[in-house]
Amino acid sequence: RTVRTEARIEQILSLDVEKKKPLRIEKTISVHTSRDWAISEPLAATRNALHRAGRWEDLRDSHRLAWEHIWDRADIRIDGTDEEAQLLLRFNVFHLIQTTSMNVIDLDVGVPARGLHGEAYRGHIFWDELFIFPLLNFRFPEVTRSLLMYRYRRLNEARHLAIEAGHEGAMFPWQSGSDGREESQVLHLNPKSGRWIPDDTHRQRHINAAIAYNVWQYFQVTDDREFLSFYGAEMLLEVARFWASISTYDADRERYEIHHVVGPDEFHTRYPGAESSGLSNNAYTNVMACWTLGTACRAFEMLSEDCRVEISERLGITDDEFERWDHISRKMFIPFHGDGIISQFEGYADLEELDWEGYREKYGDIQRLDRILEAEGDSPNRYKAGKQADVLMLFYLFSAEELGDLFERLGYRFDRDLIPRNIDYYTRRSSDGSTLSRVVHSWVLARSERERAWELFLSALGSDLSDIQGGTTAEGIHLGALAGSVDLMQRGHTGIDVRDDVLWLNPCLPEQLEELRLGIRYRGHWLSLVIHRNRFSITAEKGWAKPVQIGVHDTIHSLKQGQSRSFSIRC
């Protein structure tokens, strides 16, 4: 008997059973919608699929085979003192693949921050893919490409958002959904006080830089020139245009500035007591804007001449515009305070210090310090207290060399010891209220404070299995932290970095690991890496492309299919 109710459809089977005699029921389900490809209409497609599906054993076997293939590509094996870490790595990969498997290819889907597992953020798509794509790029690049197309298809809406805000180019929304309009909430509830608070986080324009960064990283790992020519370059150019148009020139300072934005740290959305929201010169945003302007020009130069002509005619880009971009990328203002501390935003130095010890003593868990302070009638905007990595994102996304080049181009001194000083300064002033924060902090501490980095790694890795935020996992997994923490193993401990057509490797295992084994896909090769404490080897196992360039200890080596090389480790 089939029973339909408003919320569900049930099938009731009444059968005679015999004691101790097992009864086996097989139920096969097929789901189609009218938007599926290569079907006539959903009912016929569903019927056909059911008739052709075979029996339970057939379905189980094909399911098993599909997962074996996934694990062949995705697994990371570790051997060491912490047995749970291996389980957690696989748990996270499994849940990542539940949301972003090969099945998304050709579908118009993006990466919802909370996976497909729960209803938090109403399925919206934020910047979290910045933490997810690096893992996918080296394993399932076809999936990244498809997910980047989610953004490309919404480029027109982003152009419209830029115009509406009085800018040029494309301004992607902070929270994106079906058609790419801004979906951010304007109010949110503080469950601690029961009050509805204005939500200004939509001012996180840095998401545009994240999209540009993702396009460029995908291209670096795959060398997919077709994608760059048809889609990637256009996104980079339009985002660069947006950064140029939101930048204003301060004649006294002789520098460009960016106003009315919010950085990744969502505890700071306006100046203390200010009527309107937004901050000036968020350092992360300003540096990322300069990086985008430079990278868009570089990508444009890499296109074929035909393509360059077509794209500049289509977008109406002129040489004057490129010159302005170049000027901005050399003259952007970056705030500093104290002894070489990059200020999170202009005026950050004037904020009050928070009594961290006092708050920890009083409340125990202070991850959501914003809610605690608001319930006390106060605001995190008044304090040097961050929810998550902001300035430190720079050290997560760029190598010391790359950052040095960016700051030097801007005419700022960038001594190497500025890095540990900033890491120490900001990690002390963070509540890690976002699960993304621990990924970044573990990454930036990996080579200097190895014990602390490992603890943060385990905590980020267990974000959902241990539900470290005390109840939020039930509303959906934290996909950025899940994938980002696996990537700490994939790129962090291997030192993988792709620059100028070279795959650089600089492994350094944490004390807790004896061995790390993984396979990565790079420009048409499957490379297998086996890393021990003092040595590591790399083998080009399978591949169909020309030899790739591998960089180790300042030397570049060519590696072709079937070849293997081994190197000593300098940690």
What positions carry a catalytic annotation?
A: 266
Nearer to ligand IFM, 207 or 496 (CB): 207
Smallest separation, CB 279 to ligand IFM (Å) = 16
Closest CA to 182 of 198, 169, 168, 164: 164
Which residue's entry shows tokens 């970056």?
334
Distance CA 143, CA 201 (A): 29
Distance CA 78, CA 489 (A): 9
Distance CA 289, CA 246 (A): 10
**Are 83 and 77 in contact, with CB atoms under 8 Å apart?**
no
The DSSP code for 499 is: E
Smallest separation, CB 126 to ligand IFM (Å) = 4
Smallest separation, CB 158 to ligand IFM (Å) = 17
CA-based end-to-end distance of the chain: 67
Smallest separation, CB 436 to ligand IFM (Å) = 5
The sheet carrying 564-568 orders its strands as 76-80, 513-522, 525-531, 535-543, 564-568
- Residue 77 token pair: 């094996």
Distance CA 302, CA 305 (A): 9
Nearer to ligand IFM, 200 or 266 (CB): 266
The DSSP code for 3 is: E
- Residue 189 token pair: 């509830």
Count Cβ neighbours within 10 Å for each residue of 251-274 and write b for 16 or more, e otherwise: eeeebbbbeebbbbbbbbbbbeee
- Residue 499 token pair: 């620059």
Distance CA 532, CA 509 (A): 7
Nearer to ligand IFM, 113 or 488 (CB): 113
Integer CA distances (angstroms), 256 to 193, 245, 350, 362, 428, in order: 40, 11, 22, 43, 30
Distance CA 210, CA 426 (A): 21
- Residue 435 token pair: 């699960």
Smallest separation, CB 175 to ligand IFM (Å) = 8
Compute φ and ψ for 362, nearest 5 degrees.
Answer: -75, -40
**Are 485 and 460 in contact, with CB atoms under 8 Å apart?**
yes
Smallest separation, CB 333 to ligand IFM (Å) = 24
Nearer to ligand IFM, 246 or 436 (CB): 436
- Where residue 480 falls (left for φ over 0; alpha for ψ -120 to 50; beta otherwise) is alpha
Integer CA distances (angstroms), 347 to 32, 336, 352, 394, 450, in order: 55, 10, 11, 19, 33
Nearer to ligand IFM, 201 or 245 (CB): 201
Q: How do beta strands 513-522 and 187-190 pair?
A: unpaired
Burial class (CB in 10 A: 0-12, 13-18, 19+), 401: exposed
Smallest separation, CB 104 to ligand IFM (Å) = 19
Residue ranges that bind ligand IFM, judged by CB under 6 A:
113, 121, 126-128, 264, 266, 434, 436, 480
> Residue 529: beta bridge partners?
518, 538
Smallest separation, CB 268 to ligand IFM (Å) = 13
> Residue 125: beta bridge partners?
176
Residues 6+ apart with CB under 8 A from 185: 175, 199
Closest CA to 292 of 358, 213, 392: 213
- Residue 490 token pair: 């994939």
Nearer to ligand IFM, 341 or 482 (CB): 482
Smallest separation, CB 475 to ligand IFM (Å) = 11
Smallest separation, CB 502 to ligand IFM (Å) = 31
What kind and span of H or E run contains 558?
strand 555-559
